[in-house]
A = this chain, B = another copy of it.
Amino acid sequence: MTYTYEVLCEKLLAKDYKLTPQRETILRAFTEHGDSHLSAEDVYHLVKSKSPEIGLATVYRTVDLFAELGILQKMDFGDGRSRYEFTKQEEHHHHHLICINCHKVQEFDDDLLETLEAMIARKNSFKIVDHDLKFYGICLSCQEQT
């Protein structure tokens, strides 16, 4: 899923936020690197080349805003910094396989977790609104290297 300029514009104005060049630039950084899970620092360096005057604080404020608007999803891979990617629009969430050797992160879809979630919710009287599933292990290319 890639968010366009128009979608951003619409979402911003709906909440009386302004459409600034910085916000547009940061959105583009994500459309051009849709497959990575960018940290604020990553975004900062990506946009710095095109807009050298941009500040790191603006990047932090902007990715926070985008997350609030539902454009980005904040995630944590345990490396001490938050990472962001476009919110997936499909019915089923996707999750992450994190290689403990090369630290590459790949995605996978799951259908089964929905069933699991319903059972957990019932057994624990817990009203689930979101979930986060990560598998740690060795990716295929690291397996082949040995």
Q: Which residues of A pack against B, CB within 8 Å?
A: 76, 78, 97, 99-100, 106, 108, 110, 112-113, 115-117, 119-121, 123-140, 143
Contact = CB atoms under 8 A, between A and B. Distances in A.
Given A113-B116, A116-B116, A127 B134 contact: no
Nearest to A107: B124
Given A130-B137, A132-B132, 8 more contacts: A76-B78, A108-B123, A110-B116, A112-B112, A125-B143, A127-B137, A130-B136, A132-B134
B128 A136 contact: yes
A140 B112 contact: no
A76 B81 CA distance: 12
B129 A136 contact: yes
B128 A131 contact: no
Nearest to A133: B133
Given A78-B76, A113-B116, A129 B138 contact: yes
A130 B97 CA distance: 10
A37 to B, nearest CB: 15
Nearest to A95: B120
A99 B124 CA distance: 12
Contacts of A140: 124-126
A32 B139 CA distance: 39
